[in-house]
Amino acid sequence: MLETCTICDDETGRAGAGDDSLYLEDGTGPYCERCFEIRCLRAEVERLTRERDEARAAAEAYRDLSWDRLERARAALKGG
């Protein structure tokens, strides 16, 4: 029995898990090669977007901390 792609219903050209079918790490599938590549690229874009957002948040937190330190140093100089 030939399997069909979970997304486009085209035949995958494979015959099941024992025939090197294409599944994502989360267990979804099977996929044809085209849909598998698209899903993998989307997952990579989502991963990179999360990384960017985390890095941006960390940079903003560091900037805020540095600004606070600068303001405290200025206040100390004015008072000293």
What pLDDT, on the 0 to 100 scale, is given for residue 1? 64
Q: Tens digit of pLDDT for each residue in 54-73? A: 999 999 999 999 999 999 99
31 in Cβ contact with 3 (< 8 Å)? no
Q: What percentage of the chain exceeds 70 in pLDDT?
A: 92
pLDDT tens-place string over residues 25-36: 888 889 999 999
Q: What is the pLDDT of residue 26?
A: 86
- Higher pLDDT among residues 20 and 39, named by residue: 39
* Mean of all residue pLDDT scores within the chain: 89
Domain ranges of the chain: 17-79
List b or e across 7-25, with b for residues whose CB sees 16 or more CB atoms inside 10 angstroms. Answer: beeeebebeeeeeebbeee
- Angle CA 40–28–10, to nearest 5: 80
The residue among 50, 71, 68 whose CA lies nearest residue 60 is: 68
